[in-house]
Amino acid sequence: MNRLIYLVAAVAALAFSACATRSVGAYSVKAYAPNNPQSVRVKVSTSTQHIYVLEGDRLLMAVQGCVGANGSTPKGTFRIGSKIKNKRRISQPDAGYPMAYWCEFLPAYGFHEGFVWNVPRTHGCIRMHREAAARFYALVNVGTPVHIASTQPEDAKYGHLVRKLDQRNDPDPPRSFMMSPQWFKDPAGPLLVKQ
């Protein structure tokens, strides 16, 4: 019986990774290890939904996220206040829904894993593809500065490097898998690479 449960979870994981990227092919993200983790900072452009992780002028990662609908993502300068890898939603509706790789920048607002749409869709949080969320979590620390604005200078400099993603039509993976501890398993391979 345990073997069957493991097989179902493994198939679900493969199905999720395939369906979550079926429209754009295999989705991968490269993130570079910082030389000085204390110098890492995050910039978010709500107009492009791009997330830039920088160390000084050095780009460590640039990805598309999904920001809040109707301007609900707070703008301003913040700091990462807490990190919880295995976070689950505690409020209704849908208490228990995974919000893996949670990096809170304001009470009840954070970066986390979730479906990425090409239009603002969240209630104010900033969602990222699992591949990006895991790497983002590895890059930032409690205290990392976050600047969120309508536009960022990095849009012109690095925006062309951001791979576009739209998961709006991708089905949810089986709920039993989403509610299992297996959901929080890191993507394969090293999260950060040396440059």
**pLDDT tens string 54-105:** 999 999 999 999 999 999 999 999 999 999 999 998 888 788 889 999 999 9
User: Residue 114 in contact with residue 12, Cβ under 8 Å?
Assistant: no
Half-sphere exposure of 41 (CA within 13 A, CB side): 13
- Average model confidence (pLDDT) for the chain? 88
**CA 168, 172, 140: angle at the middle one, nearest 5?**
75
> What is this structure's pTM?
0.86
User: Residue 141 in contact with residue 81, Cβ under 8 Å?
Assistant: no
- What domains, with CATH codes, occur in the chain? 28-169 (2.40.440.10)
Alpha-carbon distance of 67 to 47, in angstroms, equals 9
